[in-house]
Amino acid sequence: MSLVDSINVSDLTKEQSSTVWLRLLPLVSKLTEEKQRELGFTIDEIYRKAATDTLYDIADGSKVWKLYYERASLKEDAQKLDQLWIDRLSVPSLDIQDLYDDYSTFVSENFFEVDYVNKMRQARTIESKMEKIANRLEKFELALAEDVSNPQAWLKYMDYCYKRLKSSEFRVPLTKAVFKRMCDYTSDAGPEWIALWEKYCSYHLEANMAQLHERMAVRMSEEPRVIKQIIRDYSSYIEDMYKSRAALEVLAPKGNSVERIIGELVWRINRIDYTTADVESVSYLLEKSFLWSRDNGITDVGRACIETLKRFRWASQLPMMIHRYLGLDNEISTTEGDWIFCLDEAIGSCSDETMLGLFEKCAHMIKRIGALSSELSSRWKVFRNVYVTKDQEFPMDEALKMTATEEPKVSAFKRPAPENSETTSISNKRVKKEGYTDKLSLALSQGREVYVTDIGFQATEELLRTIFGESGQVETVKLPFRKNRGISSRHNDGFAYVSYLRKDDADNAIKMLDGRDVGGRKIHVSIAEVKKVHLRRVKGSGVGSNFNRERTVAVLNISPSIKSGKLKQALEEVGKITQFEEFSDKHAVLVEFSTQREAGMASLKLDGQKLDSGGPLRIGTINDLRRLT
C-alpha cells in the first residue's frame, strides 16, 4: 500500500495539529479522483480544513496556511486572495513580519498604487496588534524550543494564554492550540503530565468532554487521578459519567490513591435518589467501581458497591456482583467475613433459588476446608427455617454434619477454641488486646446481648424497651446520651445495647427487628461482640480526652443555622458514629467513628462541603479544636 492510499477518513475528519498536516498535505495533493470520492473530500476541501485546524498555532500554523494559499492562488481571483491575506494577518503568529512582507508583494502585484497605500495602511494596523500578542508569547515558545518534553513549560504557556489573555478574543483558541500541540509532541506522556490535563479540563473549553476523557485515559490508563478528574467534571450530575464510558473502559487504575478515589465515586453514587436513578448508568458505574476495587484488592469498597446495589433495590444484579466478590469461578481464597457479609446482603433481596445456590457454594468451600464457623452455621439455620419449605437435605446440612463429627482443623475462617473452654467465652487476653479496660457484661459473654445501630436520634430507652420486648424478656437497655448533654433537644448517640434473659430471645430480636423503623430510621440489629463494644476510655483530661484519636475528627466552622440532627445524619452517611460531642461556643463537634478508615473518609468527603447557607465545613483533629479560643 502506498502512502497516499494509507490516508483514511479519520485522518481528515478529526482536528489535527500543524505537525500532522505538514506531513499529510504533500500526500493529499496526489490523491486521485477515485480516492477523493472514497474519502468524501476534495483536495481543496482538505487544504482548507488544514488551514482552519492550524490557524491559531503561532509557531507552525503559518507554514500550513502558505501551502493552502499556494493552492488557492491557482484558482481564486485577487479580491478573494486579498481577503484570505487579511484573515491570516488578523491572527497572532511568530512569522507575522514575514507574512506582512509577503502581503505587501501580493498587493503591489495585483492592485493600483492608490489601493496599495490604503491596503498596506490597514494591514500595518492589524500587523502591529498581532505582533504585540506574538511578542508576549515568544518567551514560552523559546522555553519549548529548549525542552519540548518539559510538562511545566507547557503548563505555564497554556495557563498564560487562558488567564493573561482574558480580555482578548484569542484567549480560547490560543489555549486550545497550545494544548493540541502538547498532545502531538507528547504522545507517550506518562503520569507526570496529569497536572497539565487536569488544568486543561478545569477550563471547560471542550464541547465534548467525553472525547477529552478518552484521550486522557488512553495516555494514562493506570493513573487513578484520571478517574478523579472525570468525577470532578461530572460532579454536579454523577450519572453523566456514563457518557465517558469509553474512557472508563480503558482505565485500569493502580496505586495508593485508588481506594480513596473509587471510594469517593461510590459515595457520590450513594447520594443519588434510587427512585429516579437511571438504571443503565448507575449499574455501569457501580460495576466499574467494583471491578477496579477487586483488581486492587480493596475489600471495603467492593462491599460498599454491593451495599449500594442493594440500596437501589436492583436484586437481579446483586447475585452476579456477589458471585464476583467471592470469586466463585476462580476459587479465590475468601474469609469468613466475606461469606457472612454476602449472605447477610443477599438474604431477603435475592430469590430463594439464588440463595440456595449461594449456600451450596458455601458448603463446597466448607467441605474443602473442613471447618465451619458458628456464624455461618447460624446464617444457614435462619435461612432454612424462615425461607425453605422443601423437606429435603441440602449441601449445607451435609456440611454441618461433617464438621460436627470431624476433628476441628485450623480453618481459613477461624482458629478452633482452646481446650477446656466454651466457644462463647471471651478470654481476658482478648479483652486486654482489644484495649478495653471495663469488664464485659455477663450477657455479652453468653451471647444474650444485641448491638443496635442507626437508631433515630430522638428515640428513648423506654421506646427501645417496648420495641425489643416484642421478641422476649428484656434485661437491660443501654442507650448512650452522656456525650450530648450540651444539646438542648437531648439526642441519643444513634446506637444501643439490649440484653435479654435468654439467648434465644436475642436471636429472635435479630430476625424480628432488624430493619424496623425506630425514630425515623431503619435500625440494624446484630449479636454484640467484643469488637463492637463501645467502652469510654479515660486518658488524661481536657477536650477529647476520652475519644480515640485515630478514629476521631473535629468538624469545625459549623454554621449556627445547622441543626445537630442534620449534621449527625450527614456524618452517619460516612460511617457508624460511636461518640459525638458538641461545642456550640466554638461552632464545632468531635465525632468518633467505628473505624479509622471511616474517619479518613469523613475528612475526604466533608472537608470544604456546605450543609447550609453558611461557610464550608472544615475537618480537623482534636488538637485543631483545642487550639480554638
Q: What is the secondary structure of 288-305 as a DSSP string?
A: HHHHHHHHTT-HHHHHHH
Q: Which residue has the higher pLDDT, 321 or 191?
A: 321
Residue with cell 450530575: 237
Per-residue pLDDT, averaged over 221-225, amounts to 91
Give the best-scoring range by mean pLDDT among 133-137, 184-188, 192-196.
Answer: 133-137
pLDDT at residue 188, as a whole number: 60
Give the pLDDT mean for 364-376: 74
Model confidence at 69, pLDDT cuts 50, 70, 90, reads very high
DSSP per position, 230-269: HHHHTTTSGGGGGGGHHHHHH----STTHHHHHHHHHHHH
Q: Map out the domains of the chain as residue ranges.
A: 9-156, 161-405, 428-532, 549-626
Contact 178, 157 (CB under 8 A): yes
Question: How far is Cα 452 from Cα 523, in angstroms, rounded to an integer?
Answer: 7
Q: Is the overall model pTM greater than 0.75, yes or no?
A: no
CATH 3.20.20.60 at 428-532, yes or no: no
The residue type of 36 is Q
Distance of CA 557 to the CA centre of its chain: 26
Cell for 276? 429516579
Question: What is the pLDDT, as a whole number, of residue 483?
Answer: 44
Say which range, 202-211, 303-312, 480-489, has the weakest mean pLDDT: 480-489
Whether 532 shows a pLDDT value over 80: the answer reads no
Place of cell 429516579: 276
Least confident of 144-158, 296-310, 358-372, 502-516: 358-372
pLDDT of residue 281: 94
Query: CA torsion angle for 57, 16, 212, 193 (degrees, to 10)?
Result: -60
* Residues 477 and 451 sit within 8 Å (Cβ to Cβ): no
The pLDDT value recorded for residue 9 is 83
- Please state, as a whole number, how many other Cβ atoms lie within 10 Å of the Cβ of residue 405: 7
pLDDT computed for residue 333 by the predictor: 57
pLDDT tens for 82-113 read 999 999 999 999 999 999 999 999 999 999 88
Residue 555 CB-density burial (10 A; 0-12 exposed, 13-18 middle, 19+ buried): buried
| % the chain with pLDDT above 90 | 38
Query: Quick check: 256 and 289 in contact, CB under 8 A?
Result: no
428-532 and 549-626 have identical folds: yes
Q: Is the pLDDT of residue 373 over 70?
A: no
Give whichever of 185-199, 473-487, 557-571 has the largest mean pLDDT: 557-571
Mean pLDDT rounded to a whole number for the chain: 83
The confidence score (pLDDT) of residue 282 equals 93
Angle of helix 299-311 versus helix 258-270 axis, rounded to 10: 10
Residue 358's H or E segment, with its range, is: helix 352-369
Beta strands in 479-551 (DSSP E): 495-500, 517-518, 521-522, 524-527
Report how far residue 348's alpha carbon sits from residue 327's, in angstroms, rounded to the nearest whole number: 22
Q: Let me know if domain 549-626 sits in CATH 3.30.70.330.
A: yes
Work out the pLDDT band at 429, boundaries 50, 70, 90: very low
- Helices and strands, number each (H, E), in the chain: 29, 10
Average pLDDT value for residue range 537-557:
72
Backbone φ and ψ of 324, nearest 5°? -70, -40
d(C-alpha 371, C-alpha 417), whole Å: 12
Q: How many CB atoms lie within 10 A of CB 618?
A: 17
Res. 494: pLDDT tops 90 = no
- Backbone conformation region of residue 520, classed left if phi is above 0, alpha if psi is from -120 to 50, else beta: left
What pLDDT score does 128 carry?
Answer: 94
Consecutive H or E run containing 540: none
- Report the distance separating Cα 147 and Cα 529, nearest Å: 62
What pLDDT score does 423 carry?
32
In order of 332, 491, 497, 581, 585, the CA distances from 485 in angstroms are: 49, 8, 20, 9, 14
Per the model's pLDDT, the better-predicted residue between 491 and 167 turns out to be 167
Q: Which of 134-138, 217-221, 402-406, 481-485 has the lowest mean pLDDT?
A: 481-485
Output the pLDDT for position 546.
Answer: 78
Residues 18-47 pLDDT 10s: 988 999 999 998 999 998 999 999 999 999
